[in-house]
Every structure is written in structure tokens, then in C-alpha cells.
Amino acid sequence: MDYLETQLKKLAKETFLSLKKAKGKEELENFRITYLGRKGALTSILRRVKDLPLEERKISGKRANDLKRQLEESLKVRLSQLGKKREVEKFDITLPGIKPESGHLHPITLITNEIREIFQELGFEMVAGPEIETEYYNFEALNFPPEHPARDAFDSFYLAPDTLLRSHTSPVQIRVMERRKPPLRIITVGRCYRRDAIDASHFPVFHQIEGLMVGEGISFSHLKGVLTYFLQKIFSPDIRIRFLPSYFPFTEPSAEVSISCIFCKGVGCSSCGRSGWIEILGAGMVNPIVLRKVKYDPEKFTGFAFGMGIERIAMLKYKISDIRLFWENDLRFLEQF
């Protein structure tokens, strides 16, 4: 009965492979039915064993029964493993879920949005200008004559002889006035670049916000009103504001604007150098020379401008002691905003 022997061998191989492949309860049950069920392949071989001559019946019968036992045993093991695996995978659906991490805005973006909203309430329109400027827009049109010592104060990054990374946002004033006729009320926000040595309050890249209002009858008191409204809104309604005479080539008169120290309320502390005041921005009336450069009639139109560092405002408002933190992208810092 070679024939049955061969079949048994083939079946042993086949069952070994298909048991290995069978996954899950259902597939294992299918396996059982296919081979061990009432009409299963092995069952039918076993049924035929009794018709064999005695000698062969002994050998093949034992083989077939061994295989049957083996398969039943393996199946049992596989089924029990299945149960165990389930146990491990079981989870408690009543446990609180894990919130997916979501990104959020950088503190500089947050403060910029806040500043922009305040000026938009006052009717200022947001405009943009290029970060790569010519000497004309960065200096000359703003009344920094060639070789003027004030150019040294803005130790700039030159990309080519007449091309530099803007050292302030004031060139946007010129670009806007060249394009438009007064009255106008604009603000612009953007990156500026200066060759400053890096320390807790200096970084070669920083952000400025610049404002410009030009029209008929615009006076210094409008500037005071707008800046007072803005500074009290961004810091606190009870701060006081101080204007001191200053100098910028593009404004005349010019002012350096301070707020009463937000930490000591003007009494004097280490944050304000014991003076009670914190300098916060530069401002002034647009110099008639500048107005003439953009072909505005200074007899008819006057205007004011102001500019301030956004990092400085953010540092004061959020009590950040080091400007470098804005650029390090350390999540432990960023996640606090």
C-alpha cells in the first residue's frame, strides 16, 4: 500500500505548512475541518486503513494516528496562544485618550498679530516690503547722506556694493509713499538685519514694526495719541509714556519713547536701570526732506512715523530675559506660549 503511505507523507507536509499559515480562530477552525473533520483528508485516510492487509494496517495505521494526534496537539497549542495574544491586546476603553500633539504659533508671531490688530483698530493698513534693499531705500531716501556717520550705526550686511539686507523697516515708508498719494496710514512688520554681536539682547536678525501716517494737518499730538493708545493696550492701561528728544535723519523732530517700568511701576528696579523708565521705540515727524524725495508737498502734507523692535516688546511682555531663546526652537520654551 505504497499509495496510502505517499498520501500520508504528502498530507503531513501539507498540514505542517497550512497550520503554520493559518491565522486567527476562523482559519484554525477551517484547518481542523479540512484535515480532522468528519470528511477531512486525514479522517478519510484513517477510514481506509482498516481495509489494508494486517502488516500494512499496523504501520500505516500508526502513522496516520500519530499524525492525527500531532495535528490535534498543535492545533490546541495554536488556539491557546490565540487566547493569550487576545489578552495582551485587550485594552481599557474607559481610559482617558492621549491628545494628539498640535503645533502652535511662535511668540513673535503671537505678539505681531496682537500689535497688528491694535493698529488695524486705528485704521492702519498692513503692508510689506522686501528684506533685500538698495542703499537708496535703506539710507539715501531716508536722508542718510553718503558717508553720513549715522550709516555706521546700522552696521549692515551687504550682499553686493549697492545691495544689503535691510537694517530697519523704514525703507518700506519710502516704497509706500512712492506708490501712493496721501492720506495714508500703514504699518509694516518684518525681519531686519544688523551686524550686532550676539548677546542676551542682540541678535543679527530681529523684527521691527513700523508705522507711518501722512495727511493734511497731522501733528505730533496725533503721534502721541496713537502711540499712547497702542502702548497702553499692549502693556497695561496704567503705564505712563515719556517722549524725549532724539535724532533720526528721516524724522524731525524725533523722539525716543519710553514706558514707565512694567516691573516696578516706575519706582526703579534692576530691569529699568533704576530709572523707572524703559525705552521702547523711536518716532518722529516725517522729515520734509523725505517728503520731498517721494514728491509729496511738505507745505501741504505732514506725517509721523515710528519703529520698534518686536523681540523687545515680547521680552518685556512675556518676561523673557534672553533674545536668543526666540531662535533656538527649544520646545520647552516655545510650549509656554
> Residues interacting with ligand PHE, by CB under 6 A?
168, 170, 210, 248, 251, 282-284, 305-307
In the complex with ligand PHE, the residue whose CB is nearer, 75 or 186, is: 186
In the complex with ligand PHE, the residue whose CB is nearer, 190 or 307, is: 307
CB of residue 215 vs ligand PHE: minimum separation in angstroms?
A: 17
In the complex with ligand PHE, the residue whose CB is nearer, 156 or 170, is: 170
In the complex with ligand PHE, the residue whose CB is nearer, 71 or 165, is: 165
The closest residue (CB) to ligand PHE is: 307
In the complex with ligand PHE, the residue whose CB is nearer, 170 or 302, is: 170
CB of residue 251 vs ligand PHE: minimum separation in angstroms?
A: 5
CB of residue 151 vs ligand PHE: minimum separation in angstroms?
A: 13
Give the Cα separation of 42 and 124 in Å (integer): 89
CB of residue 315 vs ligand PHE: minimum separation in angstroms?
A: 17
Give the Cα separation of 29 and 36 in Å (integer): 10
Residue with cell 491557546: 80
**Contact assessment for residue 257 and residue 240, using Cβ atoms and an 8 Å cutoff:** no
CB of residue 198 vs ligand PHE: minimum separation in angstroms?
A: 18
In the complex with ligand PHE, the residue whose CB is nearer, 171 or 266, is: 171
In the complex with ligand PHE, the residue whose CB is nearer, 60 or 138, is: 138
CB of residue 295 vs ligand PHE: minimum separation in angstroms?
A: 20
Q: Within a 10 A sphere around the Cβ of 153, how many other Cβ atoms?
A: 12
Choose among 246, 239, 80: nearest CA to 150. Answer: 246
In the complex with ligand PHE, the residue whose CB is nearer, 31 or 230, is: 230
Give the Cα separation of 134 and 16 in Å (integer): 80
CB of residue 268 vs ligand PHE: minimum separation in angstroms?
A: 26
**Contact assessment for residue 176 and residue 128, using Cβ atoms and an 8 Å cutoff:** no
**Contact assessment for residue 169 and residue 209, using Cβ atoms and an 8 Å cutoff:** yes
CB of residue 91 vs ligand PHE: minimum separation in angstroms?
A: 59
**Contact assessment for residue 227 and residue 313, using Cβ atoms and an 8 Å cutoff:** no
Those residues with Cβ within 8 angstroms of residue 145's Cβ, 6 or more apart along the chain or in another chain: none
**Contact assessment for residue 82 and residue 25, using Cβ atoms and an 8 Å cutoff:** yes
CB of residue 112 vs ligand PHE: minimum separation in angstroms?
A: 16
In the complex with ligand PHE, the residue whose CB is nearer, 44 or 219, is: 219
